[in-house]
Amino acid sequence: DTEVTQTPKHLVMGMTNKKSLKCEQHMGHRAMYWYKQKAKKPPELMFVYSYEKLSINESVPSRFSPECPNSSLLNLHLHALQPEDSALYLCASSQQDGGSTEAFFGQGTRLTVV
């Protein structure tokens, strides 16, 4: 199983809503990532979890709150988002063995903030 599963595939939310994006992998990977991708742009790293601990936060606004409940799951909690936060949110995972590791990406959640 080399899949990273993201739910939901599409999400529309208002600026006062609270919602969560979910990501799951069963490859035994110990590093998990959230990326944000705007249209016609490359993915931009938001957060990295390593062994269920937050290791990198790329100065992401606090309205985005990541959570890693266990080694297979990664959540991104959303609250009070702005329309400019509309984007494709990609989850990825990789083995935790330094640089010689490849990241597997999910299909993404297309988020629209209205």
Q: Give the residues lining the site for another protein (CB under 8 A).
A: 4, 6, 31, 33, 40-43, 45, 48, 50, 55-56, 88, 90, 92, 94, 96, 98-108, 110
Nearer to another protein, 16 or 42 (CB): 42
Tally the C-alpha atoms within 13 A of residue 54's C-alpha that lie toward its C-beta: 14
Query: In whole angstroms, how close is the CB of 13 to another protein at the nearest point?
Result: 18
**CB distance 109 to 8 below 8 Å:** yes
Cα separation, 96 vs 40, in Å, equals 30
Query: In whole angstroms, how close is the CB of 41 to another protein at the nearest point?
Result: 8
Residues 93, 87, 20, 50, Cα dihedral to 10°? 20
Nearer to another protein, 10 or 62 (CB): 10
Nearer to another protein, 18 or 55 (CB): 55
